């Protein structure tokens, strides 16, 4: 196994297009109860885009949006996603910065300066993408970022007591070529006193079978996508090298398997058992990479093909995979990664927590039936009492059984084994 280290990854989610269902919809309390199972420490929400409430005319709706995050016990990351005015007009930039500053001031009035000074503030969303963020040049983004960050610090500065403000960007879209140049220039050219975190995004593919050179065979396309999850580790480490111990946080602010332009296509990849295995693999790579926080795109989602819950709070397989991970591998645990080189279709992490709790989180990355001796994978497993598993045989449910010396997967699958005598906290499972 690799050397033991602290689990430093903060789990999180994005709540965007379906914010109304999350914040004020009739199933909101059920949604909150489900999302707490993911143990989110940060929830990224949006203003000035994604159908978000207008903070001038709909402040009460914005309050409800934030309150929903606080109900989860999480910290908001408020993303000032886009300005409707030209990014190369100094007057338009001042207007946008003042608008963002007004949100900070209003939030301090509502929730108190001490609380709001701990929130996160993200400036723009995917500025390097012409489709999402308007296709800004870095020079344009630089001017917008510093103007908005200065407007935020104008209100928060007296309450930070010397701490670095939790302001960041560039929320860069990872499909575009030279996306890393944006991260480098962000850290090199922007006033470092205004940077608290780097936010980068990563999806694996946007094509369906046979589209734009993608494999015609569905199994081949899925295998190609799963083979790319180690890129999350590579990107995490590359960003960390640029941060170079400065104290800036390294955040993967958006991720999911697929971003096809049609919801029904991306849903086949994101909201399936394949998506659950893919997501579990991504979380393990981000843990290895020492990322400070991750935020899946998305939490609540009504017919958009990304989310782990629908508007009624019904979960997808990816929800169950993330819940198993979050509840068995917790922030602050000591973690190790078993050497599974002889089983490239498997990945795993072993966690050691408080009160002697020991857990193993395991993902099966192949669409075939397989059986494994646990001791050959992770060594001593005598203290692991309970097994929680979801795979292609369990009909989108987590099955709980007593742990055995052998574990079987029917297709893509995710499992958690634990020494804890109780059920994993807050989860709903179907007994075998």
Give the range among 262-276, 386-400, 416-430 with minimum mean pLDDT: 416-430
**Model confidence over 202-218: pLDDT tens digits?**
999 999 999 999 999 99
Percentage of the chain lying above the pLDDT 70 cut: 97
382 — phi, psi (to 5°)?
-65, -25
CB 167 within 8 A of CB 195: yes
CB 364 within 8 A of CB 391: yes
Report the pLDDT value the prediction gives residue 2, as an integer from 0 to 100: 59
**Model confidence over 74-102: pLDDT tens digits?**
999 999 999 999 999 999 999 999 999 99
CB 50 within 8 A of CB 62: no
Mean pLDDT along residues 222-228:
96
Taking the model in full, what pTM does it have?
Answer: 0.95
Report the pLDDT value the prediction gives residue 431, as an integer from 0 to 100: 54
Q: Which domains does the chain have, with CATH numbers?
A: 5-331 (3.20.20.80), 335-431 (2.60.40.1180)
Asked if the model's pLDDT at residue 428 lies above 60, the reply is no
Mean pLDDT along residues 37-50:
96
**Model confidence over 360-380: pLDDT tens digits?**
999 999 999 999 998 888 888
| Helix, strand and coil in the chain, % to nearest 5 | 35, 25, 40
DSSP states of 154-203? HHHHHHHTTPPP-EEEEEE-TTSTTHHHHHHHHHHHS-GGG-SEEEEEEE
Average pLDDT of the chain to the nearest whole number: 94
Give the range among 66-80, 104-118, 241-255, 380-394 with minimum mean pLDDT: 380-394
Percentage of the chain lying above the pLDDT 90 cut: 87
């Amino acid at each position: 196994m690799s050397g033991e280290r602290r689990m430093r990854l903060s789990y999180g989610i994005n709540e965007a297009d379906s914010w109304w269902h999350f914040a004020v919809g009739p199933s909101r309390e059920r949604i909150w109860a489900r999302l707490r199972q993911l143990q989110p420490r940060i929830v990224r929400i949006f203003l000035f885009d994604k159908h978000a409430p207008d903070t001038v005319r709909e402040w009460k709706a914005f309050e409800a949006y934030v309150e929903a995050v606080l109900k989860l016990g999480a910290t908001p990351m408020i993303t000032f996603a886009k300005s409707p005015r030209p990014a190369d007009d100094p007057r338009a930039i001042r207007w946008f910065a003042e608008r963002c500053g007004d949100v900070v001031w209003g939030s301090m009035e509502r929730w108190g300066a001490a609380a709001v000074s701990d929130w996160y503030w993200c400036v723009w969303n995917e500025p390097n993408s012409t489709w999402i963020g308007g296709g800004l040049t870095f020079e344009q983004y630089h001017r917008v970022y510093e103007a908005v960050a200065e407007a935020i610090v104008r209100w928060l500065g007296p309450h930070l007591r010397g701490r670095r403000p939790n302001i960041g960007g560039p929320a860069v879209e990872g499909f575009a070529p030279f996306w890393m140049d944006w991260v480098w220039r962000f850290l090199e050219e922007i006033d470092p006193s205004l940077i608290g975190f780097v936010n980068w995004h990563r999806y694996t593919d946007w094509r369906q079978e046979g589209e734009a050179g993608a494999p015609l065979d569905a199994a081949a396309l899925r295998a190609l996508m799963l083979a790319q999850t180690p890129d999350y580790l590579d990107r995490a480490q590359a960003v960390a090298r640029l941060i170079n111990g400065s104290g800036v946080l390294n955040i993967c602010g958006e991720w999911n398997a697929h971003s096809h332009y049609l919801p029904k296509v991306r849903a086949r990849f994101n909201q399936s058992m394949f998506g659950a295995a893919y997501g579990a693999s991504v979380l393990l790579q981000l843990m290895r990479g020492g990322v400070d926080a991750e935020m899946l795109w998305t939490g609540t989602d009504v017919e958009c093909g990304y989310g782990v819950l629908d508007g009624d709070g019904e979960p997808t397989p990816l929800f169950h995979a993330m819940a198993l991970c979050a509840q068995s591998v917790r922030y602050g645990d000591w973690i190790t990664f078993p050497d599974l080189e002889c089983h490239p279709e498997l990945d795993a992490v072993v966690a050691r927590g408080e009160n002697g709790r020991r857990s193993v989180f395991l993902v099966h990355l192949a669409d075939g039936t397989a059986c494994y001796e646990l001791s050959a994978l992770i060594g001593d497993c005598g203290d692991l009492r309970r097994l929680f598993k979801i795979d292609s045989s369990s009909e989108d449910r987590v099955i709980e059984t007593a742990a055995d010396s052998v574990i079987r997967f029917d297709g893509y699958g995710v499992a958690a084994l634990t020494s804890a005598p109780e059920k994993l906290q807050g989860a709903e499972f179907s007994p075998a």
